[in-house]
Chains A and B, each alone.
Chain A
Amino acid sequence: MIEGIYWITWRELKRYFNSKVGILIRFIQPLVWLGFTGNIFSETKILLQQVGFLGTYLDYIAPGVVTMMVLFTSIFGGMTTLLDRRLGYMNRILASPISRTSIALGKVLGISLIALIQSGTLLGIALFLGIRVSTGILGIFAIILTALVVALGFSSISLMVAIKVKSHEAFWGVVNFMGMPLLFVSSALFPLELMPSWLADIAKFNPLTYSIDIMRFFMAPQGSFINLIPNLIIIGLFALIVVSFCAILFNREITKAL
């Protein structure tokens, strides 16, 4: 089982590192956000101060942009599974004795590690651009760990979509439809306190809101870490439930032809 997961993940990562153009393209959008949006909205600093955030807007959205990278990398990650099925490669894997669950978990882990590499690199670039992580190296480690948990959750969702819809058009439709609202209706780009209350209420159901608050804490701590414990539990449970559900659904769908 563990070995199966390892090798499915191995292939995902090999494919990732062998497609060099793909790696670069994925950095464009987040960098645009950091470079432009972070500056365009710099005057909102006063608004942020009203709700107790003391840094610049760039400081504010840095965890949001890192999350954006995690979110989009993981939510598009189901694509390789869709391709594997389309091209018949999945049948080759299924005709071997490897356990079906380890295929699902290996895929999720592979996508999540890619999301981790991407967001880690982006965080590095952000640091280079002058964004501070005041909790130091341990804080960076905590941010990356948070990113991994979020990635596990959303790559599971992506894999479930891929296994369910079977066509490219539907896949892109669904994940695009999910991606943007998930990002906007969260604390990624703007504090919930400054949103209309109905939108803030919706944002409270978004796991990203909680993971972003954790990341933001480690970049510029405000208040006590104790306050974050509910956040940790929420994103942990979110990931656990979604990953398990994904493994079950994958098992069922992949053997449906049987």
Chain B
Amino acid sequence: MSIIKVENLTKIYGDFFALNNVSFSVEQGEIFGFLGPNGAGKTTTIMILITLLKPSKGRAFVAGYDVVKEPSKVRANIGYVSQDITVDDYLTGRENLKFQAHLYNLNNENKRIEEILNLVDLSDRADEPVALYSAGMKRRLDIACGLINTPKVLFLDEPTLGLDAQTKRRIWDYIKRLKNELGITIFLTTHYMEEADILCNRVAIIDRGEIKALDKPSILKGHIGDEVINLKLEYLSEAFMDSLKKLQGIKEVKFHDTLCSIKAKGAEGLIPKIFELASIHKVKVESLSSKKPTLEDVFLAYTGRGLRDILSDKEKGKIFGKRMRRFRY
């Protein structure tokens, strides 16, 4: 069953298409990722799905309810963690959760609060003011707040933005636990390729308000095709080159002096065979590297631009920044 269903969603500001005819669905229990640069339409999509923004055109259903017609029912069934860390510094961790619990009209919230605190490993610091927490702890509390009502879908907008590598990995572990142990469906947005790759069952690549590709990360990478093996040889050998080309799985061999670039499928299995051939032909291999396609390559292939190019796309960013501020402030 699809727990999120989005049909031809469009959001227009003036003449700017923040979202253009976006359709997709998210299955129960999966981690679904929206991958795209800043200003691609990720937050706009989340804002519509959590009922804080109305679409210009199209429909969206979350947990079976229409986000425009039945916003209260949608709200009761979701958790939302925004890209800014939004916990109240003046309250303790426990008080933050208590307040959150009552926003959802939960009774006997104390037991639930203990459970959640345990889940994010904050039990021992729960009675300290949040102002004393580290950024990682605040983020965990933030996610905990989003979980208080045992939501059917948890929306995470850029969950690891601005965190260091270690903290980022810990947050990833928590997110995986939510899915594996609690079976919560998670909709997350990110502009980190690695994050989408590690966490998501399926990824939609979104750019300029349109979905460019949507599939499992492995399949997306598979579309890009082949792995590349780079060899540096001591000297060039015609015989070695010919026998390389005959190896099964090798698609293309190119030589530039003593550098050899091989496009292949299944590089792990091929590397030992390449060494075997090299020893038969008495060719010395000076170095070898193999590279698998990354989501970044996928992104490039689908959008024709690198993430960084878009990030420096100042004009669009400015326009978009203005739009976004409207519902942030």
Contact = CB atoms under 8 A, between A and B. Distances in A.
Given A19-B90, A257-B52, A95 B84 contact: no
Contact of B104 (A86, A97, A166): A97
Interface in A84-129: 85-89, 91-98
Nearest to A165: B329
A91 B99 contact: no
Interface string B307-329: 00000000000000000001111
Contact of B53 (A87, A92, A258): A258
Contact of A11 (B53, B80, B99): B99
A19 B78 CA distance: 32
Contacts, number: 79
Contacts of A88: 82-84, 86, 328
Interface string B91-118: 1000100011011110000000000000
Interface residues of B, number: 32
A204 interface: no
B295 to A, nearest CB: 28
Per DSSP, are chain A's interface residues mostly helix, strand or loop, or mixed?
A: helix
B303 to A, nearest CB: 28
A15 B82 contact: no
B100 to A, nearest CB: 8
B52 A11 contact: no
Interface in B44-97: 47, 50-54, 72, 75-76, 78, 80, 82-84, 86, 88, 90-91, 95
A92 B146 CA distance: 9
A14 B90 CA distance: 8
A45 to B, nearest CB: 45
Given A10-B99, A15-B88, A86 B105 contact: no
A87 B84 contact: yes
B145 interface: yes
A11 B327 contact: no
B329 A95 contact: no
18 contacts: A3-B102, A4-B103, A7-B99, A11-B99, A15-B88, A15-B90, A15-B91, A18-B90, A88-B84, A88-B86, A89-B86, A89-B88, A91-B86, A92-B100, A95-B78, A96-B149, A98-B103, A257-B327
Given A89-B86, A257-B47, 11 more contacts: A7-B99, A7-B102, A14-B91, A86-B329, A88-B84, A88-B328, A91-B327, A97-B72, A98-B103, A167-B329, A258-B52
